Amino acid sequence: MRDFSADHRWLSINTATLRGAGTLHAIIEACARHEIRAIAPWRDQVAAIGIERAARLIREHRLELSGYCRGGMFPALDAAGRRAALEDNRRAIDEAKQLDAACLVLVVGSLPGALAGAPASKDLFAARSEVRDGIAATLEYARGVGMPLAIEPLHPMYAADRACVNTLEQALDLCDALDPRRDREGDSVSSDGASRAALGVAVDVYHVWWDPKLEAQIARAGRDRLLAFHVCDWLVPTRDLLNDRGMMGDGVIEIARIRGWVEAAGFAGYSEVEIFSSENWWKRPADDVLATCIERHRSCV
Amino acid sequence: MRDFSADHRWLSINTATLRGAGTLHAIIEACARHEIRAIAPWRDQVAAIGIERAARLIREHRLELSGYCRGGMFPALDAAGRRAALEDNRRAIDEAKQLDAACLVLVVGSLPGALAGAPASKDLFAARSEVRDGIAATLEYARGVGMPLAIEPLHPMYAADRACVNTLEQALDLCDALDPRRDREGDSVSSDGASRAALGVAVDVYHVWWDPKLEAQIARAGRDRLLAFHVCDWLVPTRDLLNDRGMMGDGVIEIARIRGWVEAAGFAGYSEVEIFSSENWWKRPADDVLATCIERHRSCV
C-alpha cells in the first residue's frame, strides 16, 4: 500500500469540494498554490468559464484530471427525454476528452422527475432498464472516442432520485453485462500506467463503506475496472442526506482500510476528495479547505 | 396474493406510528375503535404503563402482536456493556413472551457510542462480530423460551449508529450461520398457521426497497424465516434521516410489488405499519392517522 504520509502527490481535488470558492479559475489557482497535481471538475463549473479557457488553465497549471463529473441521468419521462440524455452524455464525453480526463463519472439517474421532487414513476425496474440501455448506447460512443466510463454506485439513500445503481456488485454486474471482455481502449491508460477497461466503476467510500460485500467486490473489479477512488467521510450524526459529508478523519469510515483493498486490487491512481458540505466546508476559504485536505490525505487516507 | 382492498384484517399498527398519540393505553383504545386486530408495541411504551397493565389491555381488546420492538443493540464499549446488552435482550424476550408477540424484532446496533453521537470506534468488522456473538447468545435463550428472533436489516444510512446489518442478504447469511437447520420451536406458529424458524428476518420496505437483490433474497428467506413485514413509504425528497418516513402511497416504494414477493415466498401474516414522522403523522390525531392507515392499507399495500 502506498505511503501517503510524506506528501500529497496522489491527492486530487474534486472541484465540488470548493463549491464556495468561486469560479473554476479561482479553484484551479488555489489548487496550484497548494501544489495539487490533479482535479476532477464538474461540468457546470467548466461551462461557467468556458471549456476552452478551462482547458488552457488546466494545461498551464499542468493539472491532471482524475475524472470528469458527470454524465449519466439516463431515465426520462419519455423517448425525447431519453434521447436528450444520450446527446448530453455524448457532449460530456467530448468535453472529458477535450480536457484529457481519466474517465467520465456516471451518476446514472433513477425515477424520472424525482430529482426535481416530483417523481412521475415508482418503477425502479424500468429505471434500471433505461440506465442499462443508456450506458450501452453511451459506451459505444465512448469507445470510439477512447473515454472510459466510470459507473458510480451511489448510497442507497439516493436510490429514488439520483441513482438506481446502489452497490458495487450491481455496478460490476452492469459492467460485465455491457463490457464482458473488459475491452481496453488504446489510449485509455491512466496516470499510473495501468490499462483500463472501457467501462468500470468509481468507488466513493461515502457511498459504499457500509457494504458487507465491499472488499470482495473491489477484488472482483480488479485493476482495469477501478477507474476512480473518491474519499470523504460519513459524519455521525449526518444532518442532511446530500450536503453533510465530512472531511476525511471527521467521521467513521475506515478510509485507509478501503484504500488498502483498492490498492490490493491494483489501483494506483489518485485519491480524489469530494465533499458536499453546505454548512461547513463550503463556507470556508479555499486555502483552509485545501490545507485541511492535504493534511488529512496524509494522515487519514 | 391476498386481496387487501375489502377490509383491514391483515393490518397491524406498530405503535411508533402513533408516537404523538399519548400512552400505550390511549393507542390501544384508538386501535380498538378502528377494529384493528394487531399491534406491535415498543418497550418504552409498554414500560410507561407497566407490562401487566399492557398485557391486560392487549388481552381485553383481543389484540394480536405482530412483533415486539425491540431487542438488539449488541455492540458496546466494553465487556460489561456487552453483558448488559445480553441481559437486556433476555428481558425483552421475556416481555415479548408475556405479551404473546409473534417475534422479537432485533435492531442489531453498530459502532459503540455512535447512537449518542460519539462513536468510540470505526471498526464495522468488530461491530458485526459482536452482533453475531450477541445474536448467538440471545438465540440460545430465545429458543428455550420459544420466542422467534427477527433480524431487521436497516437501511444503509443507519450503518454507523443503528445497525451494521444493512441488506436482507446479510441478515439471511447470519440466520443461516446461526440457525442452519432453521429449527422450529413447538409453539412458534404464527397467526396464519405457518411454522417459523427460531431465527428469521423482519422485512421493512423502507429499509430494503432499493436493493436490486431484494426479490431473490425474499425468495431465499422463505416462509419460515419471514417473521414480519413492515410498511411505510420513502418520500421524495426525504428531509430527515430518521423521522421523515411517509404514509403508504405518499412515496415511491412499490409496496404491493414487494408484498407480492413476500407472499409468493409463503408469508401470510400481518402487514405492519411503522411510520416515524416527527413533522407530519406524529402531529395528527390518532383517529386521523389510523383512518389513513386503513385506507392506504386497502389501496396502496
Q: What is the DSSP string of B180-237?
A: TT-PEEEEEE-TTS-EEESEEEEEEHHHHTT-TTHHHHHHHHHHHHEEEEEE-B--SS
Note whether A166 contacts B211, CB cutoff 8 Å. yes
Spatial contact of A4 and A10, defined as CB atoms under 8 Å apart: yes
Smallest Cβ–Cβ distance between B122 and the set A111, A238, A253 belongs to A253
Note whether B160 contacts A252, CB cutoff 8 Å. yes
Burial (CB count <10 Å: 0-12, 13-18, 19+), residue A59:
exposed
**pLDDT bracket for residue A21 (50, 70, 90):** very high
pTM above 0.90, yes or no: yes
Q: Would you call A244 helix, strand, or coil by DSSP?
A: strand
Smallest Cβ–Cβ distance between A241 and the set B156, B159, B241 belongs to B241
* Residues 6+ away with beta carbon under 8 Å from B212: A128, A166, A167, A170
Mean pLDDT of A45-56: 98
What is the share, in percent, of chain B residues with pLDDT greater than 70? 96
Note whether B238 contacts A157, CB cutoff 8 Å. yes
Quick check: A192 pLDDT over 80? Answer: no
Quick check: A182 pLDDT over 90? Answer: no
Quick check: B231 pLDDT over 70? Answer: yes
B206/A contact by beta carbon, under 8 A: no
Chosen for mutation from A108, A111, A122 (greatest number of chain B CBs closer than 10 Å) is A122
Chain B 113-172, CB below 8 Å of chain A: which residues?
A: 114, 117-119, 122-124, 128, 155-157, 159-161, 164, 166-167, 170
pLDDT value for B182? 81
Quick check: B192 pLDDT over 70? Answer: no
Task: Measure the CA angle with vertex A186, ends A183 and A188; round to 5°.
Answer: 80
Query: How far B40 CA lies from chain A's nearest CA (Å)?
Result: 26
Note whether A236 contacts B161, CB cutoff 8 Å. yes
CA distance A254 to B242: 24
Q: Would you call B83 helix, strand, or coil by DSSP?
A: helix
Query: How far A205 CA lies from chain B's nearest CA (Å)?
Result: 13
Quick check: A187 pLDDT over 90? Answer: no
pLDDT value for A185? 55
Q: What is the ipTM of this complex?
A: 0.96
Chosen for mutation from B252, B253, B257, B261 (greatest number of chain A CBs closer than 10 Å) is B252
Query: How far A10 CA lies from chain B's nearest CA (Å)?
Result: 24
- Distances from the Cα of B148 to the Cαs of A120, B101, B186, B189, B195, in angstroms? 40, 9, 11, 10, 11
A260/B contact by beta carbon, under 8 A: no
Smallest Cβ–Cβ distance between A117 and the set B236, B241, B254 belongs to B236
Note whether B166 contacts A234, CB cutoff 8 Å. no
Residue of A nearest to B165 (CA): A212
pLDDT tens profile B16-42: 999 999 999 999 999 999 999 999 999
pLDDT value for B135? 98
Per-residue cell: A242: 446530500
Note whether B160 contacts A119, CB cutoff 8 Å. no
- Distances from the Cα of A144 to the Cαs of A99, A151, A183, A194, B226, in angstroms? 17, 18, 12, 20, 49
Residue of B nearest to A206 (CA): B157
Residue of A nearest to B252 (CA): A122
Chosen for mutation from B210, B234, B241 (greatest number of chain A CBs closer than 10 Å) is B210
Residue of B nearest to A163 (CA): B210
Among all chains, which residue has been given the C-alpha cell 498551464?
A: A60
Chosen for mutation from B115, B122, B154 (greatest number of chain A CBs closer than 10 Å) is B122
Note whether B252 contacts A111, CB cutoff 8 Å. yes
Mean pLDDT of A168-177: 98
Mean pLDDT score across all residues of chain B: 96
Quick check: B274 pLDDT over 70? Answer: yes
Chosen for mutation from A252, A253, A255, A300 (greatest number of chain B CBs closer than 10 Å) is A252
Quick check: B68 pLDDT over 70? Answer: yes
Smallest Cβ–Cβ distance between A252 and the set B111, B166, B211 belongs to B111
Per-residue cell: B130: 459482536
CA distance B238 to B277: 11
**What are the backbone angles phi and psi of residue A291, rounded to the nearest 5°?**
-60, -40
Note whether B238 contacts A122, CB cutoff 8 Å. no
Which residues in chain A have Cβ-Cβ distances shorter than 8 Å to B241? 157, 237-238, 241
Of A29-33, A80-84, B195-199, give the lowest mean pLDDT range. B195-199
CA distance B169 to B186: 27
Query: How far B186 CA lies from chain A's nearest CA (Å)?
Result: 34
**pLDDT bracket for residue B97 (50, 70, 90):** very high
